[in-house]
Amino acid sequence: MKKTLSLVLALVAILAVVGTTMAAETIKLGKADFAAHGTRCFAVAVVALQGDTIVGAYLDEYQMLPKDETVGVPNSDKDFGAAFANPNQWLASKKVNNEYYSNNMKRAGSVVTIADNFKALEQFVTGMTIAELEAFLSTNEPADYVDMVTGATLVDNYGYLSAFLAAAKDALNN
């Protein structure tokens, strides 16, 4: 009797796990290369979408930065980097170079690092549906979004949020 009860309980547990796994919606990934902040850099936004809800988000931005003070993207010091017009600069991630880039922002009055700003934006969109993000982006003028996301004080919050929306729409097509 004890063995039968143990076997039944084990089967129920296995079926519960399998049933839950099978019932969960597929997670789709989407990516957008986006001009979220002016014309001298580009953002890469990635979202994990479950149904029409963003369940994970990642944002980074790339810009030409001085070689002697920053870390470039892979192969910047090789053939890839030879294609850049200014030999003293290379393409670099703002997140990887958080301290360098944030010091520049500090000179302009910022008290929040670029990595913390991006993290606040990532957390803000996580849990939103595509429709909710679209509605949020349509409620105000782009300049009004500077202080609308707690912890993110970037001038181009609207652009970064738009990049997430583009990535979410890309995920729908994947």
109-162 pLDDT tens trace: 899 999 999 999 999 999 999 999 999 999 999 999 988 998 898 999 999 999
pLDDT band at 47 (very low <50, low <70, confident <90, very high): very high
Q: What gap in Å lies between CA 68 and CA 60, rounded to an integer?
A: 21
Helix (H, G, I), strand (E, B) or coil at 60: strand
| Residue 65 phi, psi dihedral angles, 5° rounding | -130, 160
Query: Given this model, what pLDDT does residue 147 score?
Result: 84
Answer whether residue 1 shows pLDDT above 70: no
Query: Given this model, what pLDDT does residue 159 score?
Result: 97
Sheet holding 27-34, edge to edge: 27-34, 41-50, 53-66, 89-93
Number of Cβ within 10 Å of residue 95's Cβ equals: 17
Answer whether residue 71 shows pLDDT above 70: yes
**DSSP secondary structure, 65-117, as one string:** EETTTS-PPTTTTSHHHHTSS-TTEEEEETTTTHHHHHHHHHHTT--S-HHHH
Answer whether residue 63 shows pLDDT above 80: yes
- The residues facing 92 across adjacent strands are 63
- The residues facing 56 across adjacent strands are 48
Q: Can you read off the two tokens belonging to residue 36?
A: 């979220």
Q: What is the mean pLDDT of the chain?
A: 90
pTM, to two decimals: 0.85
Answer whether residue 8 shows pLDDT above 50: no
Q: Can you read off the two tokens belonging to residue 71?
A: 């870390």
Q: Return the domain boundaries, the chain.
A: 26-172
Query: Given this model, what pLDDT does residue 14 score?
Result: 60
